Amino acid sequence: TGEAAGIAMGLVMLGSKSAQAIEDMVAYSQETQHEKILRGLAVGIALTMYERLEEADALITSLCADKDPILRRSGMYTVAMAYCGTGNNQAIKRLLHVAVS
């Protein structure tokens, strides 16, 4: 399915921060009308930024400002994946702010 393919792309590119892969996934996410594909790509984008810390901040800001709620969700997934296991206070504050807003 399209959802599984989006997740699989992220797993294949796990932590690579591949600009081309991210651009392609974000662009297709903004074009598609298929919610399942969009959900898979949302997770795939986040997986691509695994353990990238501050390197992911520009992408996170961009995703969180998107008009599509699923891409905004991808921004939160990207925070989680970029800072996974670090206990970073700024990442936690950002996530908590969205959770209570």
Q: What is the pTM of this model?
A: 0.94
pLDDT digits (tens, 9 = 90+) for 49-80: 999 999 999 999 999 999 999 999 999 999 99
Sign of the C-alpha dihedral computed for residues 73, 41, 25 and 57 taken in this order: positive
Q: What is the dihedral of CA 100, 83, 28, 18, to 10 degrees?
A: 160
| pLDDT > 90? residue 101 | no
**Structure tokens of 37?**
């594909």
